[in-house]
Amino acid sequence: MSINDKILDKIRNLLSLAEDGGNDEESQTALLMAQKLMLKYKISQDELNEGGKQEIIIKSLSVYKRLYWWEKVLVKIISENFRVMFYVQSNRLPHQKSVQRKLVLMGYPEDVELAYEVFYLAAESMKHYAGIHIKDNNEDSTLAQAQIRKAYYQGFMDGLDHKFAKQREEMADDNEKFALIIKTPQDVVDKFNQEINGSLAFKQPDLSRNSHAYHDGYDRGQNVSLTNKYLD
């Protein structure tokens, strides 16, 4: 088993332990634990690879398809907090009428794998709790459900973004090195700037940040503990 696989296994084990803890005062949230492990691993990795360069890889978040607006918002949040860059890759086969796109991550292998896993855990959690919110509010209209879902998604992602920002502040206060370690490595940024052109653009959906769905999503995003257990 490679070093990266061992680190990922340890992260998954810690996520399970965090969920099993039950006591909020004694157990960190899954994302905080995963991120702290990532930072600690980076310190040891820097010491082991002092003077050398690490491999930079790319990994697709999906196959070519139509990208949803929330995927573009979420990948930006994840990339800003897990030391990776991202871009959109486009393609259109001869038989296709429209251009298909996919999101791609770029960074060190362990950072890319962690960002990939957290992206999908966050996405599945967001969809799961949005579904519960809609069901609890007994809304039958398909159009109304779509609007509620949009507001909930945006609230969830804003809450998640706030959660990450608070974690960064706590880590920086705890150890000044964290402020530097959590940044995307400069050689990853340089490679991205050399090889990738273009920018991510999309139309923000019409939604209300004053709605119950938005605020419920925001609270859930701030406090969510992400594991695969609730999906079983």
* pLDDT values of the chain reduced to their tens digit, one per residue, 232 residues: 555 566 656 665 655 554 555 444 444 455 566 556 656 555 444 444 445 567 899 999 988 888 999 999 999 999 988 889 999 888 876 676 777 889 999 998 888 988 898 899 899 999 999 999 998 887 778 888 889 999 999 999 999 999 888 877 776 666 665 555 667 878 888 888 888 865 555 566 777 787 889 999 999 888 877 654 433 3
Q: How many angstroms separate the Cα of 212 from the Cα of each of 10, 69, 133, 150?
A: 37, 21, 10, 12
Per the structure, how many domains does the chain have? 1
Cross-strand partners of 63: none
Range of the domain at 128: 3-231
